[in-house]
Structure formats: structure tokens, C-alpha cells
Chain A
Amino acid sequence: MNLIYMDHASATPVREQVIKAMVPYFDLQFGNPSAVYDMGFNIKQVIEEQRAHVARLIGAKANEIIFASSGAEANNLAIKGVALAGQKKGKHIIISAIEHHSVLNSARFLERMDFEVTFLPVDEHGLVDPERLAKVIRPETILVSVMHANNEIGTIQAISELSSICREKGVIFHTDAVASVGNIPVDVNVLGVDLLSLSGISLGAPKGTGALYFKKNIRLMPLIHGGIQEMGRRGGTENVPGIVGLGKASELAANEISAKKDQLQKLRELLVSGIQEKIKKVTLTGHPDKRLPGHASFCIEAIEGEALIYMLNQDGIYSNTGSACASKALKTSPVLVAIGVPPDLAQGSVVFTMNNNSVQEVRYVLEKLASAVEKLRSLSPIWREKTA
């Protein structure tokens, strides 16, 4: 049985060219980049080339990129780094209600350090209202963070509108772009952001890689104190093979991204219309149009997501869910709660994130999904109530 992978928001395979580029930096070019002899110096040069590749992918300058160990670390550095460096100006920060845990829990940490956090609600599609943002900014607000695209519901925010409000009011704006960089064109100048997080997992780079873009004038307190690696913003000997992997993947993505979008959008439309045709009582979550091209997410009535994921797994299909039963904490996804999905419906969450998938694969998923839903509904007491 062929495996059909539709969970690209969780991880993407590392591409062959990327692995090839990385290999020499494990054994042949193993030196410490801080060393002054030739091998150290050469590796340092290579790191700077990768910085330029990552910068080019998002329209930034090389000296505005800090390498990190993940999107989560980049988010932590952005939120805590800006807050700790700017606390003399004020101790109020604003984040949206649908942020990734690495932003949300960084903000919660700051709350314990006497910062005040405002959580911006979103509408039923997951969009932040710019007017609402303008209203909650105060003189002591130092940072606003709103994610570019949401990994669970696919919605893409109007970041440039939100960032321009912050710019007018002199507030630093960060966006978590882990779900968007690699999937859609992202340009920090178009978005108008001061900081942006990205991750290797969305890019075909290895896990354990990520980067933070920060505008030159932004003051940032390091979280890892050490040497002067990464312009003094992050101590620790650089993960050279990882950085080379992220650089290579960024270089490849920069050349492919526009072409990929149309193909992915076609697959998504096929999947969305197919599901709505084949399965009764199903809701598309997130925005119908303003969403990641390869992202399709649903809540299916009267079934539970974890059971559905396991059933699809048996048919060789890998997908994801925001169901409470599938989370270790047994809590419904805060994103689904924030967009107003009732808790029983949220149990039936299923998320497909496509990348190099085919029309044939989408058709197979549609067929297997419809029969899995039928089987689970035949077991479900609440489906009986609905049809009675």
C-alpha cells in the first residue's frame, strides 16, 4: 500500500539536494565556525551564504536573520526577547487568540513576570479585525504578535493592514510565519513586519532548524547567553549542517513557490468540493479563500477526530486533528474554540495539508474518508439522534 502523506503542516520530507548539501558538514567540514584557522573561517563563510539564502526567500537582508533551533525558538526569542529588552517603555503586549503554543505560552510566561497580555479575538474565519487591534493598543504597548497563516485552519491574516496600524503607533510587530514560509510567497517588506519567525519543517529542511527575521533597529534580549554567535543574539556553537539544510531548502523554495501555489490550490479545491459532496453535515473551518493553498480543514458532525485519523491510517493516509481526545492534555484545540466551533463539533476536526500530492491521491482520500466517516457514524449514538 502506498502511503499518502497529507500532514505537511507537521513536517515535510527533507529533499535529496538538501541532504546532499548538508553531508560534508558532518565530517569533512566539521570545524567550529568560531575557529580562526582555515576550516573555521570557511565554515563561517558558508553560514553567511545560507543566511543570504534565507533572507532572499523573505525579501530581507542577510544581517537581519538569526538562526534558531526551531520555529518555536524563533517565536520565543521574538516575544520574550522584545518584551525583556523593551520593558522600560511599557509592559503590555497583544497577541491573537489563535497563536501557536510557542507564542501563547511565551506570552503567558511574561504574564508571570508582571507583563499584561491582551488576547485579540478572531472572527468565525479566524481573522483579526484591524479596527479592534487599533482600539486595544495603549501607550505602554510594546509588542503585537499575530500569526501570518494558521496551521490548523489555514487562514491567512491581512498582516500588512495590522502591521501598518502598529507602525503608526510606534509598536513593534511580530508575525509567526512558520505555516506560510515555504507555502506562499512571503516578503517582509510587503507584510511590513519588524520580526518574523520561520521553520525548516515547512520548507523541506531538517527538524531542529528555524530562523528569526528582525529589523536592524529592533532591540532583542538574547534567551541563550553565550558567545557572540548570531550577532550576540543567540549563544552556542552553530548547528552547521542544519543551517546548510535550511539555506539550501530556502534557495530551492525561492525558485519554486509561485508555481506551486496554483497546483496546490487545484488539489485543495478538489478535496474541499469532494468532501462537501460526499459527506453530509461537514463544515470547512477557516476562511474559504484567504487560506493556505494546500490546506483543507473540516469539522465532521457526530464523529471523533482521533478515531478518524486511526481509520485513515489503516488505509495508508496520514492526516491530523484538533480533537481533544488526540491531544495529550485532552483539551479541544484553542483555535477551534476561538473561531466559535461548538465543543462537540470540534471533536470531529480533521486537517489535510498537502504539498507534493496528486489528483489521484486526493480522489483516494475522498473515497476512504467517506467510508471511514460512514463507519464511525454507524457506531455513533448522536448520529442516530440527528437522523431520527
Chain B
Amino acid sequence: MAGSASEYIQHHLQNLTYGKLPAGYERADGTVLQDATWTLAHTGKEASDMGFWALHIDSLGWAVALGALFLFIFRLAAKRATSDQPGGLQNFVEVMVEFVDQSVKETFHGKNKVIAPLSLTIFCWVFLMNLMDLVPVDFLPQLFHLMGLEYMKVVPTTDVNVTLGMSLSVFALIIYYSLKVKGVGGFVGELTLHPFSSDNLFLKILLVPINFLLEGVSLIAKPISLALRLFGNLYAGELIFILIALLPFWAQWALSVPWAIFHILVITLQAFIFMMLTIVYLSMAHEDSH
């Protein structure tokens, strides 16, 4: 990796982006596009100029690969699942399933077939995506560089799109179950008639905007905080690994090893928090508590 430290860092934080560049766009190498083109971004500027119509191939690719790995392993165990003496793989999978099931049962008391497998998927998937953070920062990007790919960010959860994609899905489920359990009227009432309520009808109507503002903010804050918490933790962790990688190679281990060990905790904890908060939000969506 030639170049200054800031170039190195920026390079490491740039996703491999495939997107649409508008017609007449001057690319990094000086060529001007005749038509709007779908292409790989060659620089960070190109990537950001692509705007919304761009895919982070690395994030998405790693995320899908890791999710598929998780499902492959668990499906393998599920196929061979026996009520007799379980093997090693089944033991491990059962521990995970029971752990998630226990967490769901402690928090969520209704009947819902989706929440438990959803939580299992979130926990295992997020954990695996976080785990990529422990792969030495230059290892995979260098490998892909040799294969001709300029950028490669291997930790999907350091991409805010990935965490937002998941938390917005959870948000959609929150809205769906709120409407399903409480009905449209109940949900609207929950958003507008609390926390301030009055017996006086006029005062009640007067309080509606205030309530809606408060409840709306707290509702919107759920997916945003869910996504940004995971993203922030992993992004910061990744950044520190990159900074450590700037040290001379013989000194790196003194910092990277302790940080990696500490990071094992962060990885697991963040996966757990994402799962737990999903369960909590969904159980709140099921409750007519107000």
C-alpha cells in the first residue's frame, strides 16, 4: 500500500461500489461518459457521485455469503437433528437455539412464530459479519487487490447501509405487528394520545401534536439507534485496527492482539444487543400497554 496514512485509511474505508454514473460525467482517469453507465467506481469520489443508485458489492457479497454460511451450518444440523444423542454440530446449534429461545421467552410473552427464528438469524448473522473484523485488515483486501479489485471492505457491519437495511426491516416488522395487534386506530391512538392525555376533549385534541411529536421521535429513533449503534461500534473497531496497521509491522501485535481480544467481546455483545433490542421492540409492538 503506497501513499500516505490518510490515503491508506480512506482506501480501507471505501466500499467496492457498483453503480450508475450520469451522462457527461468525467471519470477519475479523465474520460467523459457519453451515456449514463453502470460501472464499478474507481475512486471514492466516483462512488459518492453515484448517489443512491449504487450497490456496495463487497458489503452485500460478504453479508450474503456469511448469512448463507450460517444457514448452511444450521440447516445441516436441522436436517440431522435427532432426539437421541446429539453430535458435536447439533450440540452447538442446539445451544444457540436454546439460548435465543430463552432470550425470546424471557422478554416476549405472546405467541409469534417469527420472532424466535428472526432473533436467531439476527444474532448469528450479525455475529458472523462482526467476526470478519478479526481478520487482519490488510489480508483480504490485498488478496482481492491481486485479483484486480481495487476496494474491498470485508466487514459488512461497518457499512451503515447493511445495518440500516436490517434495522429498517425490523422497523417494518414493528409497524406491521403494531397495526396487526392494535389495529390502525389503536396504533394511531398510541402515537397521539400518550404520554399526555386529558379527559377534556379540547385539551386532548390540543395535546395530539405534542404527543405525536414525542412518540414519533421515539418510534423513528428505534431503527436509527439500532443501526447506528452496531455500525458505530464496528466502524470504530475497524478504524482502530486500520490505525494499528499503520504501525511498523514488528510493533503491531502489541496493540492489535489486545484490541482483537477485547473486540471479541464487542462483537458478541453487539450481536446480542441487536437481537435483544429487536425482541424488545417487537414485544412492545405486541403490547397494549398504554
Partners in one complex: no
Interface of A toward B, CB cutoff 8 Å: none
